[in-house]
Each structure stands twice: as structure tokens, then as C-alpha cells.
Amino acid sequence: MEAVVAVHDELMPKMVDISRLQEQISEAIPDSLRTEEQQNTIDQLEAANTAMMDWMRDFGAAFDFEEINKGKPLNAAKADSLKKYAQSVEALKEQMLSAIEEGQSVFDALKQE
């Protein structure tokens, strides 16, 4: 549980980066002038944001406060579920970091035009 929460906590500040990049790219170039790559990048950022929100909602529904924050023991079913969340939070991390990297690259290219 601690490892899963640690990855979540590492990703939370990245939500600001995602929002910032979405806004910067969107403001830098109007919808009608965006390339497919630029729009795909904005879509990737939005998908990463949505994935994080969905993951947090699902995780919060699967485990109670005591299990998440106080080390309350998990039953067998919840222990199995936690393994799946451990995998999914790693996939989420990859998705978010990839979207941020792509977003930063697109925004940097826009600044140089």
C-alpha cells in the first residue's frame, strides 16, 4: 500500500504540469491552426489527466481511509486488488510522464516558431 500511495503522491504535482501544458499549447495556437501532432498532444495531456482522476476515484472506492493511510490489514480479496492497483499506477505514471514530455516538446517548438 505504501508503495502505491508513494507513486500516487509523486504523480499528484504532475497534474499541475499537465494542466499548465494544456493551457500553454491551447493558448499558443488556435484550434483552427493546430497541426494533428499538436492536437494529439493536447488530447494525450487530457487523457492523462482523466486517467489520474479515474484512478484516484477507483482506488478511493476500493480501499477505506484506514487501509490507505493507517496500515489497516487487507483481506485476501483486497490484497489481490492492491496488486492490480500497483500495476495500474505504474502504467498511469508512464502515461502521465510521456504526455508531459510530449507536451513540453510541442510547447518548446511553438516558442521557437
What end-to-end distance do the CA atoms of the chain give, in Å? 46
Which range marks the domain in which residue 48 is found? 2-112
Give the pLDDT confidence score for residue 35 in this predicted structure.
92
Contact of 110 with 29, CB cutoff 8 Å:
yes
Does residue 22 register a pLDDT over 90? Answer: yes
Of all residues in the chain, what percent carry a pLDDT higher than 90? 93
Mean pLDDT of 93-112: 96
Q: What total of structural domains would you count in the chain?
A: 1
How many residues are listed for the chain in this entry? 113
pLDDT digits (tens, 9 = 90+) for 38-83: 999 999 999 999 999 999 999 999 999 999 999 999 999 999 999 9
- Residue 27's pLDDT band (cuts 50, 70, 90): very high
Torsion of CA 48, 53, 58, 59, to 10 degrees: 90
What is the distance between the alpha carbons of residues 65 and 57, in angstroms, rounded to a whole number? 13
CA atoms within 13 A on the CB side of 98: 11
**Predicted model pTM:** 0.92
Give the pLDDT confidence score for residue 31 in this predicted structure.
87
